[in-house]
Amino acid sequence: MSIGVWQVVIILVIVVIIFGAGKLPHVMGDVAKGIKNFKKGLMDDEPKTKKNISESEAVQADVGPKAEKAEAENKQS
């Protein structure tokens, strides 16, 4: 189900009627800025997520030997 030429023309006419021809460039500029910020947010979020995962793995690696060592000391006591 693709969008045809007439459907795009009708949508554009409705947008011009609602916002007016004078405000249309400002509205489209705001939409473009919003899309850019959204994409930037997605790109910025990925390294943080990977960093958080690697930090949690490092914490688990540090806790593992210490916990085993503490259990061994408790058994000896």
Residue 19's nearest CA partner among 7, 31, 8 is 31
Q: What is the Cα–Cα distance from 53 to 64, expressed in whole angstroms?
A: 17
Distance CA 28, CA 40 (A): 18
d(CA 65, CA 61): 7
The pLDDT, as a whole number, for residue 69 is 60
pLDDT band at 3, cuts 50/70/90? confident
| Higher-scoring residue by pLDDT: 31, 62 | 31
What is residue 21's DSSP assignment?
T
What band does 35 get if pLDDT is binned at 50, 70 and 90? very high
Distance CA 69, CA 62 (A): 11
Q: Is the pTM of this model over 0.75?
A: no
Tokens of 43: 């790109």
Average pLDDT of the segment spanning 14-39: 88
Give the pLDDT of residue 21: 82
